[in-house]
């Protein structure tokens, strides 16, 4: 009887460890380094904020800010020009890459280097307030509402094929 209890306890402990091991490497970096795939959501993210480029070792250049309308237009333009279905992420998608165990920026620095510790647009409207959309603040990983006429950063996402 004690052996069966020990086996059950070991099995339970093993099951408790497996999710930790599976999440140790949450992102897969593309061969060219410009994209990361989130293993949990299967979403593919641009590694750099818009107007920055992957130079082989980090995100280079200066990230640009956009009004909400311009951010949506940017996603549509990138989708058309690349032939890939890039979009502005909804707030749930965008919040999924925030890492609240980190600060300034609250995001994995290996997967998303040189991310400004600032606000990034989501495509999600702030219901009841048409002039507001949801943002994720990558200084602390929290979600806020922001006026659509303000300019904030953009990180594009697409579904995996």
Q: What is the CATH number of the domain that holds 74?
A: 3.10.100
Answer whether residue 123 is part of any domain.
yes
Which tens digits make up the pLDDT trace of 116-146? 999 999 999 999 999 999 999 999 999 999 9
Please check whether residue 43 is in contact with residue 93, taking contact to mean a CB–CB distance below 8 angstroms: yes
Please check whether residue 118 is in contact with residue 109, taking contact to mean a CB–CB distance below 8 angstroms: no
Whole domain around residue 150: which residue ranges? 26-159
**Considering its fold, how many domains does the chain have in total?**
1
What is the rounded distance in angstroms from the CA atom of residue 112 to the CA atom of residue 156? 12
Nearest to 71 by CA among 150, 160, 158, 159: 150
Answer whether residue 150 is part of any domain.
yes
pTM of the full structure? 0.83
Which tens digits make up the pLDDT trace of 74-123? 999 999 999 999 999 999 999 999 999 999 999 999 999 999 999 999 99
Answer whether residue 7 is part of any domain.
no
């Amino acid at each position: 009887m004690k052996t069966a209890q020990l086996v059950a306890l070991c099995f339970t402990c093993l099951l408790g460890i497996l999710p930790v091991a599976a999440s140790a490497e949450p992102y897969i970096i593309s061969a060219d380094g410009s994209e990361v795939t989130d293993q949990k959501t299967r979403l593919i993210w641009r590694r750099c904020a818009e107007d920055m480029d992957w130079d082989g070792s980090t995100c280079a250049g200066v990230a640009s800010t956009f009004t909400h309308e311009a951010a949506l237009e940017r996603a549509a333009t990138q989708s058309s020009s690349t032939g890939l279905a890039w979009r502005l992420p909804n707030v749930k998608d965008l919040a999924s890459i925030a890492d609240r165990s980190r600060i300034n920026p609250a995001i994995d620095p290996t997967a998303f280097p040189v991310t400004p510790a600032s606000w990034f647009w989501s495509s999600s409207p702030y219901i009841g307030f048409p002039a507001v959309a949801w943002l994720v603040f990558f200084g602390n990983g929290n979600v806020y509402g922001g006026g659509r006429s303000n300019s904030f950063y953009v990180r594009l996402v697409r579904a995996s094929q």
